[in-house]
Amino acid sequence: MNFFDVSVEGAGDGVYLNHESFRIEVPARMRNEVGQYRDREVVLGMRPEDVDVITDVEERAANIKVDVVEPLGNENVLYLLAGDNPFVARVAPECRVSPGQSVAVSFDLDKVHVFDKETEKTVI
């Protein structure tokens, strides 16, 4: 499981999870629970198979660095860096990236987890 310390911020009706390397808009179905943590930090968790790597983005939007690529035949395991935060993605073998390359990522928001940073209890 990948873990990120993120801050919860609100703007209008939106709630966002902010990390130094990415910003996620919280889907409407999760806004009430996550919105209770506005202006606080929570822990965002997701499994490696729920991370999608996007290679065809503008350089300014590509703020994740590929550290190591481990081809396993039926999948590639990517060791990535979001700032100083290492994390792992399991992607299809057609995803061609190289160490040192900048990429963007997206997360399957139906499968992410959010934890209270202080109590470690599950928020969603």
Averaged pLDDT, 69-90: 97
CATH of residue 44's domain is 2.40.50.140
Per the structure, how many domains does the chain have?
1
Task: Write out 8-40 in H/E/C secondary structure.
Answer: EEEECCEEEEEECCEEEECCHHHHHHHHCCCCC
Domain that holds residue 98: 2-116
Q: What letter would DSSP give residue 122?
A: B
In this structure, is residue 100 part of a structural domain?
Answer: yes
Q: Is residue 124 part of a domain?
A: no
Residue 76 lies in a domain: yes
21 within some domain: yes
Residue 43: exposed, middle, or buried by beta-carbon count in 10 A (0-12, 13-18, 19+)? middle
Its pTM stands at 0.90
| pLDDT cut 70: percent of the chain above it | 96
Q: Within a domain: residue 122?
A: no
Q: Is residue 93 part of a domain?
A: yes
pLDDT tens digit sequence for 28-68: 999 999 999 999 999 999 999 999 999 877 655 568 999 99
